[in-house]
Structure 1
Amino acid sequence: MPLSEEELRLLEQMERALVEEDPKFASTLRGTSLRRSARRRAIVAGVVFVLGIAMLMGGVMSGNHKVGFAIGIAGFVVMLGSAVVAITAIRGQQAASAPVDPRTAAHPSRGFTVIDGGRAGRLRHPRRTARSSNGTFMERMEQRWRRRREQGGF
């Protein structure tokens, strides 16, 4: 249901007031600083990953086997941690720069984005009804297979 002219005008006034009162918070809602911080985290994680490789190689090349083994394991842990940070930063950057939905592009609050906690990509399955639990296991599997083929899934 579209908003009335009065409601659109009120939303525009609220948005202007928010930008005037707290521009940092407004830019956070728009996602610009989120992309910038995600990019920064990805770059730092890349540098730390290279340091982890240096630690791993230093541990392998050291003459003392016990100390070298410990340094090598520490280097691997540093590499693993920085890779996880980099991947989450890249995913966050992609989510922040997602294309705008054309249905809401004309809306005055189009610059604001809502972060859904990673649930946007998941499909919601309808609740099961009593009728879907009827039948044997193989019959239900055949029904699912037919549905997937009809929907173009395979």
Structure 2
Amino acid sequence: MPLSEHEQRMLEQMERALYAEDPKFATALEGNGLRTYTRRRVYQAVAGFLVGIALLMAGMVAQQIWVSVVGFLVMLGCAVLAVTGWRKAPKPGEQPAGLARRPVRPKRSVMDRIEQRWQRRRDEQQGH
């Protein structure tokens, strides 16, 4: 259900108050969630890649081939995650790729559609 004009004004007032009280927190809440998620994913992949290098080296030092193989596989998997995460990350100020291709339509609530159907039926019944 859409917000009434009064509720929208109240929400805008609350947002302005939040910006006035704590602008750093407000801008953190406003950040692009997808960009933050992909950036975090890339950082985790880089950390995993470093762990893979450590496993590879430890396996070589301990002369345990299976530890080196596991380290290499961890490195490979993390490299793939980092590259795919980096490509999917939208640039600052840019819409995610999936949203840019879709035509922009005004969102209508379920109640608006039901009201339109009801109005159409009443108009049809009055016309007959």
* Structure-2-length-normalised TM-score: 0.49
For normalisation by structure 1, the TM-score amounts to 0.42
Q: Which has the higher helix share?
A: 2
